[in-house]
Amino acid sequence: MIMKELVIVTKDRVGLLADISEALGKGKVNIESVSADVVGKNAVVRLMVSDDKKGNVALTKAGFKPVSEDTVVITLDDRPGELSRAARILSEAGVGMTNVFHLSKEKGKALVALRVQPEDLMKAKKLLKEFL
């Protein structure tokens, strides 16, 4: 399946995640998954939310500049080597990943979002059909 990921790149500061999550809460948008990293003086916050359009509006209204990007979400068996299998399929077809985002793990399955270059999105979806 294809899902939208909201990405915010901004100057890092104390309270940033509180402000982002508060803006989404006020917009009635649930955070499904979040990842945040500090790179130098900047923060990179990646969000999977219940409604990417409403999330984009809520974050923009709060002064953020989110970028919406497509990701391929796959389901892997929760056992050693499964991510490697999916990554190998993409690499052998010349499709590079720009981001990997673990979403959840439940009942022996792991949900993982993979971001590829926009021009490779449909190719990646087709290559990974056994995991969709």
Instruction: Give 36-57 pLDDT, tens digit per residue.
Output: 999 999 999 999 999 999 999 9
Sign of CA dihedral 30, 102, 128, 106: negative
How many separate domains does the chain show? 2
Closest CA relative to residue 45, chosen from 26, 73, 64, 22: 64
**Statement to judge: residues 27 and 39 lie in one domain:** yes
**Statement to judge: residues 6 and 64 lie in one domain:** yes
Residue 44, domain extent: 2-68
CATH code of the domain containing 74: 3.30.70.260
**Max Cα–Cα distance, the chain, nearest Å:** 44
Q: How confident is the model at residue 128 (pLDDT cuts 50, 70, 90)?
A: very high
CATH code of the domain containing 38: 3.30.2130.10
CA 50 centroid distance within chain: 12
**Statement to judge: residues 120 and 87 lie in one domain:** yes
**Statement to judge: residues 58 and 75 lie in one domain:** no
Buried b / exposed e across 95-107, counting CB within 10 Å, b at 16+?
Answer: bebeeebebeeee
Digit-coded pLDDT (tens) for 72-103: 999 999 999 999 999 999 999 999 999 998 88
